[in-house]
C-alpha cells in the first residue's frame, strides 16, 4: 500500500510518501493545485503502484508532527522509520547523511571520506541529489569545499533557509 499526504511548511508545501510502514519520500516544489491522484515518486520500483491520499495513515501523522516540531525549532532529530530505495552506493551515502548533526555542515569531500572513498566527491554529490527523503536525511547540510551553497533539489533558497533555521547562516531568508 502506498499512501501520501501534504504538509504545509515555512519552505512551501511538502509531499510525504509512505509504504504504510515507513516513510519513503519527502518532496518539495509540490504544486498548490488540486491533489494529484498519482504523486510523482522518484523510485522506479514503486512508480507503477497505486497511491492513496491519507493524512492519517501509517507513519504520515508522526512524520507531519515531527516536521512541524522541526520547523517550530523544538526538534533537532527525527525518529521515524525510513525506507530509501537506491543503489548500494546511494544507500551508503544516505546512511552517512543521517550522521550529520543538526547545526553542522560537511563538504562533499568530507562525506566521501566518511564512506571510505575520498576520491568520490562527484559521485557523492550525485547520490546526495537523488536523496528521496530530504530534510530528514539532511542533504541540505552538505556544502561546497569553499563553503558555497551548491545545488539543492528543493532550490538553493530553501537550502539557505534550512541552514539559517539551524543557525548556520546569519539572518533569516524569505523564499522567493
Catalytic residues: 139
Lowest mean pLDDT among 14-23, 61-70, 120-129, 163-172: 163-172
Q: What are the backbone angles phi and psi of residue 47, rounded to the nearest 5°? A: -65, -25
Q: What gap in Å lies between CA 101 and CA 78, rounded to an integer?
A: 11
pLDDT range class, residue 57, cuts 50, 70, 90: low
Record the pTM: 0.84
pLDDT value at 31 more than 80: no
More confident residue, 54 or 133: 133
Distances, alpha carbon 93 to alpha carbons 14, 27, 75, 111, 122, in Å: 23, 19, 23, 8, 12
Relative to beta strand 14-18, strand 23-27 is: antiparallel
Contact 136, 81 (CB under 8 A): no
Summarize pLDDT for 66-118 with one digit per residue, the tens. Answer: 999 999 999 999 999 999 999 999 999 999 999 999 999 999 999 999 999 99
Which domains, ranges and CATH numbers included, belong to the chain?
Answer: 2-72 (3.30.160), 88-165 (1.10.10.10)
Q: Which pLDDT does position 58 carry in this prediction?
A: 81
Which alpha helices (H) appear in the chain, and where do they start and end? 60-72, 88-97, 108-114, 121-129, 156-165
Amino acid at each position: 500500500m502506498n499512501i501520501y499526504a501534504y504538509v504545509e511548511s515555512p519552505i512551501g508545501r511538502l509531499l510525504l510518501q509512505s509504504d504504510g510502514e515507513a516513510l519513503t519520500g519527502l518532496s518539495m516544489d509540490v504544486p498548490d493545485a488540486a491533489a494529484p491522484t498519482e504523486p510523482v515518486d522518484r523510485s522506479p520500483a514503486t512508480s507503477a503502484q497505486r497511491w492513496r491520499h491519507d493524512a492519517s495513515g501509517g507513519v504520515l501523522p508522526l512524520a507531519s508532527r515531527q516536521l512541524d516540531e522541526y520547523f517550530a525549532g523544538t526538534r533537532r532529530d527525527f525518529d521515524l522509520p525510513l525506507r530509501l530505495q537506491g543503489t548500494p552506493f546511494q544507500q551508503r551515502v544516505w546512511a552517512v547523511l543521517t550522521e550529520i548533526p543538526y547545526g553542522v555542515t560537511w563538504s562533499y569531500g568530507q562525506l566521501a571520506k566518511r564512506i571510505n572513498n575520498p576520491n568520490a566527491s562527484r559521485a557523492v554529490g550525485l547520490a546526495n541529489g537523488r536523496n528521496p527523503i530530504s530534510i530528514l536525511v539532511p542533504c541540505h547540510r552538505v556544502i561546497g569545499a569553499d563553503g558555497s551553497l551548491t545545488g539543492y533539489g528543493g532550490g538553493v533558497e530553501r537550502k539557505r533557509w534550512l541552514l539559517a533555521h539551524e543557525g548556520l547562516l546569519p539572518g533569516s531568508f524569505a523564499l522567493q
